[in-house]
């Protein structure tokens, strides 16, 4: 583990196993403390979409690690003795690597090319360091926190001076309207504020936060966005509330779900459903 730029360089599994709270944990707290406790006690297995996203991140930001970690799996006819033997030999030779299909590899290559051809995104990724880890103690709650930006931009000619934070997001819709909805519904505002405050605690400066949104279907459109002050302020209010709730849960050793006192609530339809025309 090496220290650089005020941040730490460490393997991803070492970072994720660290008990400090990251933004993914805070998202679970906001759903309910019970969901957070389950997330910590029984970490979920990566979904196929998460594996694909990790592969794309590595191909874009850490091509050397991508070659060491991921491999394209050929097709074998396991119905035949020869095909089964060939498959077993291939699996033994590539033990420890994550297999991708030919179609997945083709999509990843096109997505990387699309990012590189986007002037703004390419400029953000022209000089910097991937996957650095930061740790700090929240001064208001005393909770240990952590963050791992996809990419920190460094000043050209001065690799020890960070100028911005960049997060790579795969998505279905990278348009301004579509990605704004993703920010609101998937907690990307919380991540932006949490990472910005985490880097300030770590290196002593407030840095701008950028998203590079990459669509996962042709034409693999790319858009780059800077998180506005409103995005940061809303995200900060959310994550600060989550930290306060987590502090209370730890102090009281209580991890309630949706109805802390077992109350019975009256439920109504969501607004979009309530607009249904009964006379139509």
Question: Where does the chain have alpha helices with state H?
Answer: 12-17, 23-31, 33-41, 48-61, 63-69, 81-93, 102-117, 119-124, 176-186, 188-203, 229-252, 271-274
How confident is the model at residue 161, as a pLDDT?
87
Distances, alpha carbon 162 to alpha carbons 97, 166, 167, 195, in Å: 32, 11, 14, 13
Q: Is the pLDDT of residue 114 over 90?
A: yes
Q: Is the pLDDT of residue 157 over 70?
A: no
Query: pLDDT tier at 5 (50, 70, 90 boundaries)?
Result: low
How confident is the model at residue 4, as a pLDDT?
57
177-190 pLDDT, tens digit per residue, is: 999 999 999 999 99
Nearest Cα to 18, choosing from 48, 37, 40, 42? 40
Work out the average pLDDT over 113-118: 98
Work out the average pLDDT over 35-62: 95
268 phi and psi, to 5 degrees?
-125, 170
How confident is the model at residue 35, as a pLDDT?
98
241-254 pLDDT, tens digit per residue, is: 999 999 999 999 99
Q: Which two tokens stand for residue 250?
A: 């730890």
How confident is the model at residue 2, as a pLDDT?
57
Work out the average pLDDT over 142-164: 89
Work out the average pLDDT over 53-69: 95
In the chain, the percentage of residues whose pLDDT exceeds 90 is: 80
What is the C-alpha separation between 21 and 18, in angstroms, rounded?
A: 8
Query: Residue 187: which region, alpha, beta or left (left: phi > 0; alpha: psi -120 to 50)?
Result: left
User: What's the chain's average pLDDT?
Assistant: 92
Confidence (pTM): 0.90
Query: pLDDT tier at 204 (50, 70, 90 boundaries)?
Result: very high
Work out the average pLDDT over 212-219: 98
Work out the average pLDDT over 108-129: 97
How confident is the model at residue 143, as a pLDDT?
98
Is domain 7-36+102-261 classified as CATH 3.20.10.10?
A: no
What is the C-alpha separation between 147 and 145, in angstroms, rounded?
A: 7
Every domain of the chain and the residues it spans: 7-36+102-261
């Amino acid at each position: 583990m090496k220290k650089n730029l005020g941040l730490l360089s460490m393997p991803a599994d070492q970072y994720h196993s660290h008990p400090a709270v990251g933004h993914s944990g805070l998202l679970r707290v906001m759903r309910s403390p019970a969901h957070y406790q389950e997330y910590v006690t029984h970490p979920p297995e990566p979904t196929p979409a998460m594996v694909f996203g990790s592969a794309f991140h590595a191909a874009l930001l850490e091509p050397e690690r991508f070659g060491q970690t991921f491999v394209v799996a050929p097709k074998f006819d396991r119905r035949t003795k020869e095909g089964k033997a060939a498959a077993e030999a291939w699996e033994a030779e590539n033990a420890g690597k994550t297999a991708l299909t030919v179609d997945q590899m083709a999509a990843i290559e096109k997505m990387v090319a699309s990012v590189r051809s986007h002037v703004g995104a390419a400029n953000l990724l022209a000089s910097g360091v991937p996957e650095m880890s930061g740790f700090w103690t929240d001064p208001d709650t005393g909770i240990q926190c952590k963050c791992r930006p996809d990419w920190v931009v460094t000043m050209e000619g001065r690799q020890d001076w960070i100028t911005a934070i960049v997060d790579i997001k795969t998505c279905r819709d990278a348009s301004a309207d579509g990605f704004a909805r993703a920010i609101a519904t998937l907690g990307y505002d919380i991540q932006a504020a949490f990472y910005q405050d985490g880097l300030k605690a770590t290196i002593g400066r407030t840095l701008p936060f950028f998203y590079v949104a990459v669509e996962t279907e042709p034409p693999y459109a790319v858009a780059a966005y800077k998180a506005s002050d409103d995005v940061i302020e809303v995200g900060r209010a959310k994550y600060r509330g989550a930290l306060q709730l987590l502090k209370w849960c730890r102090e009281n050793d209580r991890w309630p779900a949706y109805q802390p006192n077992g109350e019975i609530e009256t439920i109504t339809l969501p607004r979009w459903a309530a607009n249904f025309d009964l006379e139509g």
